[in-house]
Structure 1
């Protein structure tokens, strides 16, 4: 069945990959994006080259503009809200703008949906940062990484919320508003609390998108700084697997509406950010990589691994692309498109 999808941040990394997935399925797509993100215009060019100049409709707009959202939201079947300020460090430097984009922007999207005629499904990308530092979770330090003492399957949706950093607060505010608009207004909303997502068309920077950033830095000769000791652990999820999870949730609102899902690679796809990742990257590029070390950054977790059993059980989804395979794919894409990174 053909539906109309409204994608905020549709020119970004996750957004453009989801748009490509939808266009492959011959869905109608409206992209709402202010094109401020590095790489967004290149992602639009890729989508047009791949699927045609008129494959989607572009509205150049900002989620802080409630009037623009109200006008654009009519007759949408699905709203995927990806637009946002994405870096913890940026939120610390400019907390007001971070709040306006992430918290107020999300409320604007929800209000536009509430006032629309269709009451579309709303998919929201939240973050594991809503769980904060998880000081009550016991962690052990090992030779090359950290591990949970009591949570071998990772952190579930039952973990207490504890917003750390302005970014955690703003994304957590959006997270709770999205959930509550299902409870109060009956809108079929879905929240994905995401771990480390990576893949092609990601223009990572030092403050955000570390897998992509390390690869780009190596290919372009830029210096790499590891903040902390490099043993920090994340569960990696390749973009193709994430997009499949979105579709599974959207296709089954009778199951997913009003739900929150922790989404990541899970225990089978966790990796320390340099002690494990560094040797893989050195193998791919064929030479040793020198790095500098700096202090831990605000809000950084020693370890975060998603417990993905809920989405597996309810929607039958599971990751299919291993961390090593995904990193190799991303390195191949970045190598072939080195000219995009300046």
Structure 2
């Protein structure tokens, strides 16, 4: 199949491209605002393009046809969305809408990376299932839900097939340690480099940390089951909660650091607790997370050690 990965120079996208290129013809679309050219395999074409530019998106899809579009390009920081909601909406709502308008004629299958944390809001019983009504509390979650609803509209009105994967907190090699999102990357980099690490709030907030390799396999598995996955929404997580304090302690132990974190006031828009049930995706595709947290953290640390050395 001929496949396009938007955001394919980024953290999750570049890992997905590496897996897909083994069996498919793959191209990448990325504005390189956070993605890196060196993340893209040299044999994979990279189109440097911003999805917020509707005219450029139309021109691209007039000249290129795809069977599948994995849509991972996004503004991914909850805190940035709270501080700059219009900027977040331009990337995550208008960018998605421009893409859908452009693929309407070809009816490429759009597989959309959504959020399994910010979209549900605070949920009393975890892990949360896909049937729980979404109630996002941040502009980021609102924008991702809008993207999901636009996908459903284009499916019903124009026959554009889609699948939504709501991702838990993804971590692993190549995650950016210099932004606000990606606490595993931030802690790992700061512990390795001896820089101070900060925890916002009391650190007892919990997240569902899922390794990037497992997430890539979820995206790949969906491709193998179009009849069971098109027009559907699936969670991708482990179903397990880990507190930020626990995460920091595990990373410090694995790295061999005695450094203690600094605590700061909590940030607005962030959830207290989250974990995702993956049972629906498992029933349809057989997918389940295989990498335990300790194993994934060790692999992440090893990759970051190389990065810090270089």
State the TM-score, normalizing by the size of structure 1. 0.86
* More displaced stretch, 281-290 vs 251-260: 281-290
Q: Structure 2 CA distance, aligned partners of 1:248 and 1:287?
A: 38
Q: Structure 1 CA distance, aligned partners of 2:104 and 2:120?
A: 28
Do the aligned residues in 2 keep the contact of 1:182 with 1:257 (CA within 8 Å)? no
Do the aligned residues in 1 keep the contact of 2:3 with 2:66 (CA within 8 Å)? yes
In structure 2, the partner of 1:90 is 80
Do the aligned residues in 2 keep the contact of 1:236 with 1:266 (CA within 8 Å)? no
The counterpart of 2:292, out of the listed 322, 325, 329, is 322
Q: Given the alignment of the two structures, is residue 31 of structure 1 paired with residue 21 of structure 2, yes or no?
A: no
The counterpart of 1:45, out of the listed 38, 46, 49, is 38
Question: Per-residue deviation at 1:202?
Answer: 1.1
* Unaligned residue ranges in structure 2 (runs of 5+): none
Q: Given the alignment of the two structures, is residue 198 of structure 1 paired with residue 168 of structure 2, yes or no?
A: no
State how 1:116-135 maps to structure 2 within 5 Å.
Answer: 117=106, 119-128=107-116, 129-134=118-123
* Unaligned residue ranges in structure 1 (runs of 5+): 138-149
Q: Deviations over 1:202-250 (max 9, x none)?
A: 1133520111111011112222110111111111111111111111111
State the TM-score, normalizing by the size of structure 2. 0.95
State how 1:12-161 maps to structure 2 within 5 Å.
Answer: 12-25=10-23, 27-37=24-34, 40-41=35-36, 44-48=37-41, 53=42, 55-73=43-61, 74-115=64-105, 117=106, 119-128=107-116, 129-134=118-123, 137=124, 150-151=125-126, 154-161=127-134
Q: Structure 2 CA distance, aligned partners of 1:331 and 1:324?
A: 11
When residues 339 and 35 of structure 1 are mapped into structure 2, their CA distance, relative to the original with a 3 A threshold, is farther
SS of 2:305's partner is helix
Do the aligned residues in 1 keep the contact of 2:8 with 2:40 (CA within 8 Å)? no
Q: Structure 2 CA distance, aligned partners of 1:165 and 1:130?
A: 8
Q: Structure 2 CA distance, aligned partners of 1:9 and 1:88?
A: 18
Do the aligned residues in 1 keep the contact of 2:5 with 2:26 (CA within 8 Å)? yes
State how 1:178-327 maps to structure 2 within 5 Å.
Answer: 178-267=151-240, 270-274=241-245, 276-327=246-297
Question: Per-residue deviation at 1:62?
Answer: 0.3
Question: Per-residue deviation at 1:306?
Answer: 0.2
